[in-house]
């Protein structure tokens, strides 16, 4: 949807317009059941993530049909700031999807060594 693409690319002003003025439905999901919030997490723009997270119809702990939660999206993108933000929101960074892929697997698969170091070794991280 337009909302999902605006969220993915961190176009906060467009996300706000679509929600507040154009009547976009934040609860609409893709065929895999991913949401606009998932796409915002993949893009890693924290103000856009916060905008969506504060919407009453957004569930931060929702999963797509494969069992991927926000943590899988964040780890796939490899952005430590996004992972840290999710941790600060109280999300479980040890969540494993239906294929047994967790944050460590997704970050390693995509070659994100900074994210791996934070997830595994940083005193500020979850030390998975």
Give the pLDDT confidence score for residue 52 in this predicted structure: 98
Nearest alpha-carbon partner for 124 in 91, 72, 81: 81
- Topology (CATH level 3) of domain 2-120: 1.25.40
Residues 37 and 62 sit within 8 Å (Cβ to Cβ): yes
HSE on the CB side for 123, CA within 13 Å? 0
pLDDT digits (tens, 9 = 90+) for 12-36: 999 999 999 999 999 999 999 999 9
∠ Cα 84 99 91 (to 5°):
25
Give the pLDDT confidence score for residue 21 in this predicted structure: 98
Stated pTM of the model: 0.95
pLDDT digits (tens, 9 = 90+) for 41-82: 999 999 999 999 999 999 999 999 999 999 999 999 999 999
Domain boundaries, given as residue ranges, for the chain: 2-120
Residues 115 and 107 sit within 8 Å (Cβ to Cβ): yes
Distance CA 95, CA 28 (A): 23
At 96, the pLDDT band (50, 70, 90 cuts) reads very high
At 99, the pLDDT band (50, 70, 90 cuts) reads very high
Q: How many residues does the chain have?
A: 128
């Amino acid at each position: 949807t337009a909302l999902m693409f605006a969220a993915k690319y961190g176009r906060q002003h467009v996300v706000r317009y679509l929600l507040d003025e154009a009547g976009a439905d934040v609860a609409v999901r893709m065929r895999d059941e991913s949401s606009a919030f998932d796409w915002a997490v993949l893009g890693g723009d924290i103000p856009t993530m916060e905008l969506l997270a504060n919407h009453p119809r957004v569930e931060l702990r929702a999963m797509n049909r494969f069992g991927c939660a926000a943590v899988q999206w964040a780890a796939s993108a490899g952005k430590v700031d996004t992972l840290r933000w999710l941790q600060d929101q109280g999300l479980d960074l040890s969540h494993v999807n239906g294929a047994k892929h967790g944050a460590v697997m997704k970050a390693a698969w995509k070659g994100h060594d900074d994210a791996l170091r934070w997830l595994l070794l940083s005193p500020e991280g979850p030390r998975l």
